[in-house]
Amino acid sequence: MSYLERQGCGPLALGVKTPNDARMAPTLARRASATRPAAVAGAFYPDDPGELAATVDRLLERARRYAGPAPKALVVPHAGYVYSGAIAASGYACIVPSAQRLRHVVLFGPAHRVPVHGCALPGASSFATPLGSVPVDVDLAARLAELPGVTTSARAHQLEHSLEVQLPFLQRILPSFTVLPIAVGYAEPSDVANVLDAAWGDASTLVVISSDLSHYLPYADACSIDRATAERIVDLDVRPLDQHEACGATPVSALLIAARRRGLGATLVDLCNSGDTAGSRDQVVGYGAFAFHPLS
């Protein structure tokens, strides 16, 4: 039973079909056929389905509450759940009220394992986690593949955690959805913003940017730098962020450009670091959750 089902408004309650809906099968069969298996289950998050579901649900239930407009986009962290899961949950809790209309998710995250030039599509038909498989939006992938700076690289996605760790949260909240994970490497934020614009979609599409903030600084220094970075994000400051401010600096900067173009505002939902959640305060990693929404 999903998080929404436990609230009495999930797919079983509403008669909504699951991501395994046979309606999606013909499109997937025409395109890619490979499932990208979970790579960091048992390391970044539990590999037992029951334990994972309970962990995500518990994080969502304890998440900081957000009273703003329904988000079009989120920025959420991607460390192990023991470190950043609570902050990620604060971001994902923002979409619970609008979960029934969200049918497509586009994920942008930094490539950690394999050098990537531009944006790399996965070339897979689905992404698996211990909670099941999520179908890839192969039609959108085919359209984006025509854009400059967009390639397809299964290798770039094979061990990439920044995208995978987002999926269990989405699986526990959204009744039925497709996903398109995009690994971002060496690229200009403006070029990634163009890809983001092409993937923007309508109100049924959610954009998720996966990024941690500062890395391996003393606690006080990290708090100061992360607060300044958060202020820049909320102000939609389109000057490119530095990799020392956010490991997903390029896709975050791209979202800031797109948000300005489209008249969105940004709200800081949660901000802390690993010294607040797990581990020592000698060298910490910063985490923030941000909601991007229409100004109203």
What pLDDT shows up at residue 212? 98
Reported as a single tens digit per residue, the pLDDT across 180-216 is 999 999 999 999 999 999 999 999 999 999 999 999 9
What is the pTM for the complete model shown? Answer: 0.89
Q: How confident is the model at residue 32 (pLDDT cuts 50, 70, 90)?
A: low
pLDDT of residue 34 exceeding 50, the answer is yes
231 phi and psi, to 5 degrees?
A: -65, -40
Q: What angle do CA 199, 202, 205 make, to 5 degrees?
A: 65
Question: 200: closest CA among 108, 124, 135?
Answer: 108
Reported as a single tens digit per residue, the pLDDT across 217-230 is 999 999 999 999 99
pLDDT of residue 15 exceeding 70, the answer is no
Rounded Cα–Cα distance for residues 204 and 194 (Å): 20
Q: How confident is the model at residue 3 (pLDDT cuts 50, 70, 90)?
A: low
Question: 205: closest CA among 110, 296, 70, 33?
Answer: 70
pLDDT of residue 20 exceeding 90, the answer is no
- Token output for 104: 């497509």
Reported as a single tens digit per residue, the pLDDT across 137-157 is 999 999 999 999 999 999 999
What pLDDT shows up at residue 279? 85
CA-only gyration radius of the chain, Å = 18
Q: Which domains does the chain have, with CATH numbers?
A: 3-294 (3.40.830.10)
Rounded Cα–Cα distance for residues 130 and 12 (Å): 20
| Average pLDDT value over all residues in the chain | 91
Residue 132 CB burial class (10 angstroms; 0-12, 13-18, ≥19) = middle
